[in-house]
Amino acid sequence: MTKIVLDIFGADHPQALAEGAAEAVRAEEGFSLVMPGPEAQLHEWLAPLSYDKTRIEILHAPEVITNDEAPAMAVLRKPNASVSAGMRYLKEHDDAVGMISCGNTGAVLSAAAVVLGRLPGVTNPALSTLLPNAKGGFSLMLDCGANVDCPVVRLVQYAKMGVALMRACFGMAAPRVAVVSIGTEDKKGNKQSHELFEALQAESGLCFVGNMEAREALSGNYDVMVCDGFAGNILLKSIEGTARFVMQNAMAYLTSAAPAGADLSFVKGAMKQLMADLDFNTRGGAILLGAQKPVIKAHGSANTATVPNVVRQLRRICEGQYSDFVREML
């Protein structure tokens, strides 16, 4: 039985995530969870829950890195923090296939680099996110916040790692790669995007389709969208904010415009489904590409429902043998 490391500390609602761990174990067979953190606290949260007790192992890690700490320094100063202990367990145990963390993003990235290590040939792991698109599938964007300043050579590597993920998880033979820019014309963008355009165009192993505009991120016309973490994080949060605004206001507009006594139950049902499709708790987490083993950074505001979804996401990546695809690409 494979093991998945689940770090719930540093998140907004760790007790709810402990409940999610039990739910994930109840939902599917074929894996067990290793949960690093303060032992007494984890025992207290897990004890009243119903699940197969043999499938959740507690790994005592008495320290926690909070969002108020400088991530890199905290990883060095707190070797027994839950995220560091989890990464160490992942590195040292062959039956541990990947890790999920809901804590401090910077600490996850630092621990992955310092403790777990990178795949051969990878200079810097990239944080990527799968976005639902208009064609019913998913498009991958990277980097979405891990590396705000990226030389072009690193961005080319991100493109290759993104292609590897889409091949492994979705069976795409030739994922379409695009540069996130301010226009589709070849000469649009800043100096970095111009250089990246030329570099990707020279890569014979990639299906490079040119520049794309940010408004096309959810169109489904692109499979791997490449940018630095500064632009990527802005794009991602703009999408999330716009979706939230539309969802919050759409029902109010519909209700005010509907005739008195009109049955809006079907509209409410459709809106509820749309909200579920866009909710990070149902989509999974951001995938750290380039580490020795797959790592997923779940949202800090994750809830009970998040954990089973992210576990399924991680298992899909592992079963698709993503790391092998990266080695081939690099």
Q: How many CA atoms lie within 13 A of 265 on its CB side?
A: 2
Pair (3, 117) in one structural domain: yes
Dihedral pair phi/psi, residue 122, rounded to 5° = -85, 125
Domain boundary among 245, 276, 310: 245
Pair (136, 240) in one structural domain: yes
CB 56 within 8 A of CB 38: no
Let me know if residue 281 belongs to a domain: no
pLDDT value, residue 267: 73
Let me know if residue 71 belongs to a domain: yes
Q: Which residues contact 270 (CB under 8 A, 6 or more apart)?
A: none
pLDDT value, residue 205: 87
pLDDT value, residue 246: 81
| Residue 112 one-letter amino acid | A
Q: Which residues contact 256 (CB under 8 A, 6 or more apart)?
A: none
Domain boundary among 245, 275, 300: 245
CB 267 within 8 A of CB 255: no
pLDDT value, residue 281: 52
Q: Report the percentage of the chain scoring pLDDT > 90.
A: 62
Pair (235, 162) in one structural domain: yes
Pair (207, 155) in one structural domain: yes
Domain boundary among 245, 280, 302: 245
The span from the CA of 13 to the CA of 153, in Å, is: 39
pLDDT value, residue 154: 94
Q: What is the mean pLDDT of residues 208-215?
A: 95
Q: Is the pLDDT of residue 282 over 60?
A: no
Q: How many CB atoms lie within 10 A of CB 16?
A: 17
Look at 183-187, 268-272, 284-288, 314-318 and tell me which has the smallest mean pLDDT. Answer: 268-272
pLDDT value, residue 148: 87
Q: Is the pLDDT of residue 283 over 70?
A: no
Average pLDDT, the chain: 89
- Segment of 11-15, 129-133, 207-211 carrying the highest mean pLDDT: 207-211
Let me know if residue 31 belongs to a domain: yes
pLDDT value, residue 277: 60
Residue found under tokens 């708790």:
281
Of 298, 295, 311, the residue nearest 14 (C-alpha): 298
pLDDT value, residue 284: 67
Pair (22, 83) in one structural domain: yes
Q: Which domain holds residue 231?
A: 128-245
Let me know if residue 266 belongs to a domain: no
Residue 308 — pLDDT band, cuts 50, 70, 90?
very high
Residue 249 — pLDDT band, cuts 50, 70, 90?
confident
Let me know if residue 95 belongs to a domain: yes
Pair (138, 223) in one structural domain: yes
Pair (201, 171) in one structural domain: yes
Pair (110, 187) in one structural domain: no
Let me know if residue 273 belongs to a domain: no
Top-confidence residue, 320 or 233: 233
Top-confidence residue, 252 or 209: 209
Q: What is the largest CA-CA distance in the chain?
A: 65
Let me know if residue 258 belongs to a domain: no
Pair (97, 185) in one structural domain: no
51-99 residue pLDDT tens? 999 999 999 999 999 888 888 899 999 999 999 999 999 999 999 999 9
Pair (101, 198) in one structural domain: no
Q: How many CB atoms lie within 10 A of CB 275?
A: 16
The side-by-side arrangement of strands in the sheet containing 176-181 is 56-60, 31-37, 2-7, 96-101, 295-297, 286-289, 126-132, 138-142, 224-226, 176-181, 207-213
Pair (197, 300) in one structural domain: no
Give the torsion through C-alpha atoms of 231, 236, 239, 240, to 10 deg: -140
CB 88 within 8 A of CB 75: no
Alpha carbon separation from 198 to 168, 186, 193 (Å, rounded): 26, 9, 9
What CATH number should be reported for the domain holding residue 60? 3.40.718.10
Q: Is the pLDDT of residue 258 over 60?
A: yes
The span from the CA of 205 to the CA of 163, in Å, is: 10
Indicate the SS3 state at residue 11: coil
pLDDT value, residue 28: 93
Burial (CB count <10 Å: 0-12, 13-18, 19+), residue 198: exposed
Partners of 37 in the β-ladder: 60
Pair (223, 197) in one structural domain: yes
Residue 252 — pLDDT band, cuts 50, 70, 90?
confident
Let me know if residue 271 belongs to a domain: no
For 91-116, b where at least 16 C-beta lie within 10 A, e where not — what string?
A: beeeebbbbbbbbbbbbbbbbbbebb
pLDDT value, residue 273: 66
The tokens describing 166, both together, are: 């889409």
The tokens describing 238, both together, are: 């703009």
Q: Is the pLDDT of residue 253 over 90?
A: no
Domains of the chain: total: 2
The span from the CA of 318 to the CA of 252, in Å, is: 43
pTM for the full predicted model: 0.87
